[in-house]
Amino acid sequence: MPQRVVITGMGALTPLGLSVSDTWQAAVAGTSGIVPIERFDASALAVRFGGEVRGFDPSQYLDRRDVRRTDRFVQLAVAAADEAMRDAGLRKGDYDVDRAGVSCGTGIGGIDTLCDQHQILLERGPDRISPLFIPMMIANMAAAQVAIRYDMRGPNMTTVTACASSAHALGEAFRRIQYGEADVMLAGGAEAVLLPLCFAGFINMKALSMRNDDPAGASRPFDVDRDGFVMGEGAGMLVFEERERALARGAHIYAEVVGYGMTADAYHIVEPSPDGDGAARAMRAALRDANLPPESVGYINAHATSTPKGDTGEAQAVRQVFGAHAKNLAVSSTKSMTGHLLGAAGAVEAILTTLALREGVLPPTINLHHLDPEVDLDCVPNEARRQPVDVALTNSFGFGGQNVTLALRRADA
């Protein structure tokens, strides 16, 4: 019999705030976290805004030595993990270390370190490259550092599937507990890509919004005037536990994870399948895994990034899966407020979806002034809505056509 899996703790650092509470309150208020870039001089770039995590001080979580020895994406992951563990009321000694694990996704990993060390190579030569360059840069270091911090010696993995990375990490953590391989999993993702090189790459792909004169209005999923996504950074971590264990220790349960579906478009390296087939199959797979009918779903936190093809393809997939029930669904994109956190997006959006279930409040899609007629869904425009929901899905789709859907159920449903 598969084990039941619940969420008992959450942590987040996002363009909306340095905690889950701050992020949720800003999302419910319909606040945009998109601002002109402050981390570096962006004046030479065609796009000069993004979703920065502002006010983050890694020395609050790591000593000075470890700050120097870790990339920003690892620092964000550690900070989010700390909040999640505090929220869950877990400390070292509260779990069997051999049955506690970490699953962390990132789309790009330590590219800040890579850029910095490459500049040193060019300016000062190979002898000046840091001996810690490789362990600071490689993508698995967030999962490794979090495991070391909490002495979690069980399953440990890193998923790198572009914008689906942390959703895959959550799904795989869910499986480890469901199959009896772990009791506790600290799972999520982190990304720190607000760098000139990353901006230049996405700009030259013509993937980013160009609204330099209106950063707060630039991310506009489902709107007919959308012109590309807004790049962001951040981290989200969740504590998953086997349900009976969580109940026995008196843990607060936010929601239950009930389904996980993943598919491939097998179509194109950056474009989604135009008929939404891969996304539709991922949603169907999650519902099958959860043993739930489509009619049980009340809300979808959409992947919708504010790109012309992606948003309409996902809307088409929703209509394929839900048929007539699609008209009864609320489908919003919180990327309208956070921007696209790439590999961290799935975890942060799972947190927001979990809180939507717990609070009975659906976060809005802001900047939605003229709904694309090809979307034709209830996209919760511009203002949060009080609406109790028992079951919700959250979608994450990555470059290369890698799709993930997670199904969550309200704790007392």
Report the greatest alpha carbon distance in the chain. Answer: 65
Residue 402 tokens, joined: 């890698």
| Cα–Cα nearest to 288, from 261, 315, 263, 314 | 261
Contact 300, 393 (CB under 8 A): yes
Q: Catalytic site residue 325?
A: no
Give me the residue label for tokens 């982190």.
Answer: 190
Q: What are phi and psi of 224, to 5 degrees?
A: -65, -25
- Strands 297-301 and 391-398, by their bridges, are parallel
Q: Which distant-in-sequence residues (6+ apart) come within 8 Å of 368 by Cβ?
A: 220, 221, 222, 223, 336, 379, 381, 382
Q: Catalytic site residue 104?
A: no
Identify the active-site residue in 104, 168, 198, 303. Answer: 303
Contact 7, 22 (CB under 8 A): no
- Strands 391-398 and 402-410, by their bridges, are antiparallel
Q: Which distant-in-sequence residues (6+ apart) come within 8 Å of 82 by Cβ?
A: 11, 61
Identify the active-site residue in 163, 168, 198, 379. Answer: 163
| Cα–Cα nearest to 319, from 287, 352, 283 | 283
Q: Radius of gyration (Cα) for the chain, nearest Å?
A: 20
Calpha distance 395→335 (Å, rounded): 12
Q: Catalytic site residue 370?
A: no
Beta bridge partners of 100: 184
Q: How far is CA 108 from CA 33, 71, 228, 389, in A?
A: 22, 12, 20, 34
Residue 204 tokens, joined: 């030259």
121-147 per-residue burial string, b: 16 or more CB within 10 A, e: under 16: eeeeeeeeeeeebebbbbbbbbbbbbb
- Measured at the alpha carbon of residue 313, what is the angle toward residues 311 and 315, in degrees to the nearest 5? 70
Contact 193, 231 (CB under 8 A): yes
Q: How far is CA 233 from CA 164, 194, 241, in A?
A: 15, 7, 27
The catalytic residue positions are: 163, 303, 340
